[in-house]
Amino acid sequence: MNTQNLRDNYPKLIDYMERAGYCATYIIKVRREIDYVLSGADSKDWASYTDIYLEHVNKSSSRHYLRGKLNCLGIIERFDNRGQYPDGRRRQQIVKRGLYHLLLPEFKAVVDCYRASESKRNKKATTIIGEASHGASFLYALQQKGINTLGEITEAAVLSVFIGDDDTLRRSCSYKKDIVAILKACIRENPDCPEFTKILAYLPELRERRKNIQYLKPDETHQIKQALVNGDSGLSLRDRAVGSLVLYTGLRCCDIAGLTVNDIDWEKELICIRQQKTGALLELPLSVIVGNAVYDYLVSERPETECEFLFISENRPYGRLLSGSIGNISNKIMKAANIRQSAGDRRGFHIFRHRVATELLSSGVPQPVISRALGHTSPDSLETYLSADFKHLKECALSIERFPMPEVFAYE
């Protein structure tokens, strides 16, 4: 492993991090890792930065320790091999994500065929990524069972991926749908190849199940509202603005992360965005409570920066918040409101979106209007929220007046 470039130029990396405002403790960690790399490069059998990380893996199983080492090595590797300075946004490329890179060539070709086929059909890129990931995991599971070619795949092997030895379900119906999408794409591209049709027939019949959504109760909603307006709640103005947006508009986390300063029309009191998930345009009214929360953040807390995105990181180097970071704010709000602190409680922002839908439904707002407000492109997307519309569900209840209680629950 040649580290001469790093040895000659690493002071530039340290100097850049200091000028960019990185935490002094973090810079020290990066500098220590550089010293570790330079001191061991000649004496140890390292071929790449991946080998260095794997050595750390052998030393400790602590996720916190390994995450820190991976972040530091990622910064060093990008600077050494590609001349890139850290920006707080690029992902490390030392450890490859997913299982695709572990597949045999014939199985990789299946995933590649699916990607090429669906790209021509203009399927959304994020959907292709998700389905390809499940396809890779399915083929890797078969590969782990000693199957090396498509012709070796048996019905028993396919069923074992979905159903465990104790007859418990190991994969969901949505997972199966992704595998079906991959196989059908390959059948379209290779109509004379019988293996794909055979594997498709081996897939088990699964019922689609939906878990009950742990919806926000009225008292919980009240506590959240109090935490968002209370200056002593411990929430930053940014977190309060994000929480207000989700609570009152039901915007997705990805759309909030993609909001720019220019997406808010203060004169017309509108939020105008192009949705990340569907690509469709969406206009929502800017209510007073949401507008005030966003305005307070912009005027009193948001750092001065050329970044066009509305919500940015609190520490240098300032950059847009990603969807995951937006989602983490939900935990802060729940903690400030002192609700849902038990293990297993659902704390994601999607239940805020669920609340908006059920509130509108219970108020008698027509379903097409709700779908447009939530940015749904399919009317069926609203069905998952109907189960919590208790006001109208009670209207569907059948009377039991014809069945006197003593007769129904009589004991012999």
* Cα–Cα distance for residue pair 319/306, rounded to 1 Å: 9
Name the catalytic one among 252, 320, 354, 355: 252
Name the catalytic one among 188, 346, 350, 372: 350
* Cα–Cα distance for residue pair 79/248, rounded to 1 Å: 43
Run of H or E residues at 387: none
* Cα–Cα distance for residue pair 357/250, rounded to 1 Å: 8
372 among known catalytic residues = no
385 among known catalytic residues = yes
User: Which string of DSSP letters, residue by residue, matches 134-164?
Assistant: HHHHHHHHHHHTT--SGGG--HHHHHHHHB-
User: Which string of DSSP letters, residue by residue, matches 302-322?
Assistant: SPP-S--BSSB-SSSSP-BPP
376 among known catalytic residues = yes
Token representation of residue 43: 């004496």
Name the catalytic one among 49, 100, 297, 385: 385
Name the catalytic one among 277, 335, 346, 372: 277
- What amino acid occupies position 368? P
Cα-based angle 264, 270, 276 (whole degrees, multiple of 5): 65
140 among known catalytic residues = no
Phi and psi dihedrals of 274, rounded to 5? Answer: -105, 120
Cα-based angle 226, 231, 233 (whole degrees, multiple of 5): 60
277 among known catalytic residues = yes
Name the catalytic one among 347, 353, 354, 355: 353
* Sign of the dihedral through C-alpha 60, 61, 62, 64: positive
* Cα–Cα distance for residue pair 398/294, rounded to 1 Å: 47
353 among known catalytic residues = yes
Catalytic positions? 252, 277, 350, 353, 376, 385
